[in-house]
Amino acid sequence: MLEWTLWSLDTKNNALITITDTLTAPVNPGLPADGVSGLGTDVRLEWQAVSGATAYEWQVSDETSFGSLPAGFSGTAASSSARTANLNPATTYYWRVRVTSPYRSPWSAVRSFTTLIGGDNVAPALNVPQAGSKTAVAPVFQWTPVAGADRYELIIATDTTFASPTVMRASATALTANAWQCETSLQYGTTYFWKVRACTATNAGEWSAVSVFITESAPSLPVSDGSTDGSADLPAPAAQTQPAALLQQVTILPPQTQAPPLPTPITVEFPIPAWAIYSGLALLLVIAVLLVILVVVFIKKRP
């Protein structure tokens, strides 16, 4: 901090007197730190006390020019601190301070801070899914909007510490609306916890209260009643998986149009002994000779 130092010679006592004027230098601002964000709408201003000062003047504005100051955005203080209230949420403010008594000093350097989205103790209220309800594995989430927010961060985890989130929509993947359907399927029959907070590009609000929901149970597999041999559970034969165009090339005749089968010939074999065969041949020869004799006799007797 710059100070003025004056020297004077005491000729009577033969001494050099120095006087330091601390009121000629700007006040050194303290808290809130320059550029801090996430403050409430009731902010305490602090600065370094100046030796010899008995009164200070402070100003807060959303403009660096400090041209127009609403009521409550400026004031005086006898000590090195002051409090300003009724600030707007999600707003960047600038502040400065100076000594006004016994003499007026230059203004301090201008510092800035940004108030919390929604203000003090304002966080999204979780609506859907309701606490303790059972949901699908890809549930819909909904919460109340927060003034000044342009995005929301959402975290889903299987424990209340959120140490290993199952789903985390934050920063570049933050949600731009106050409703969202889960894009990945959660585990069946599992308890999940979730919370949301409002954000801007440079600021973040308070986290909501933590809520809990339970996903639905896994669908049960079909149970056989024992009436089949289990063949229904086997994969279909390859022929059944052929394209329909190939199956349509096969034509099946109805039963009544099919030709009846031809009768099958039956062959019966009788074994004949050799002597019977030779006897038969001899008998046929005798008969043939007799027929020849009869024919000759008949011819001779004709006139």
Tens digits of per-residue pLDDT, 129-172?
999 999 999 999 999 998 888 899 999 999 999 999 999 999 99
In a domain, 166, yes or no: yes
pLDDT above 70 (res 35): yes
CATH number at residue 183: 2.60.40.10
Q: Give residue 134's pLDDT.
A: 96
In a domain, 48, yes or no: yes
| Residue 226 pLDDT level (bands cut at 50, 70, 90) | low
- At residue 249, the 3 state secondary structure works out as coil
Asked if 104 and 130 sit in the same domain, the reply is no
Q: Give residue 250's pLDDT.
A: 40
| Residue 299 pLDDT level (bands cut at 50, 70, 90) | confident
Asked if 135 and 111 sit in the same domain, the reply is no
Which domain range does residue 75 map to? 4-115
Domain boundary among 167, 198, 215: 215
pLDDT above 60 (res 208): yes
In a domain, 110, yes or no: yes
CA separation, residue 225 to residues 186, 191, 231 (Å): 32, 34, 13
CA separation, residue 233 to residues 221, 225, 226, 237 (Å): 12, 12, 12, 12
In a domain, 275, yes or no: no
- Enumerate the β-bridge partners of residue 15: 10
Domain boundary among 161, 186, 215: 215
Cβ-proximal residues to 131 (8 Å cutoff; 6+ apart), any chain: 211, 212, 213
Closest-CA residue to 102 (of 22, 48, 46): 22
Pairing of strands 111-115, 36-39: parallel
Asked if 175 and 199 sit in the same domain, the reply is yes
Asked if 28 and 74 sit in the same domain, the reply is yes
Q: Which phi and psi angles does 132 have, rounded to 5°? A: 85, 0
* Mean per-residue pLDDT, 212-219: 95
Q: Give residue 147's pLDDT.
A: 80
CA separation, residue 35 to residues 42, 71, 87, 121, 202 (Å): 17, 24, 16, 21, 10
Asked if 16 and 105 sit in the same domain, the reply is yes
Mean pLDDT over the full length of the chain: 81
pLDDT above 90 (res 246): no
In a domain, 262, yes or no: no
Asked if 92 and 168 sit in the same domain, the reply is no
Asked if 45 and 101 sit in the same domain, the reply is yes
Domain boundary among 184, 215, 246: 215
Asked if 14 and 100 sit in the same domain, the reply is yes
Alpha-carbon distance of 141 to 23, in angstroms, equals 59
In a domain, 134, yes or no: yes
In a domain, 223, yes or no: no
What pLDDT digit, counting tens, does each position of 251-273 carry? 444 545 455 555 565 555 556 67
Asked if 101 and 62 sit in the same domain, the reply is yes
**H-assigned helices in 8-67:** none
Total domains, the chain: 2
Asked if 16 and 44 sit in the same domain, the reply is yes
Residue type, 32: P
Residue type, 86: N
Asked if 22 and 107 sit in the same domain, the reply is yes
Asked if 108 and 156 sit in the same domain, the reply is no
pTM of the predicted model as reported, rounded to 2 decimal places: 0.51
In a domain, 247, yes or no: no
Task: Quote the percentage of the chain above a pLDDT of 70.
Answer: 75
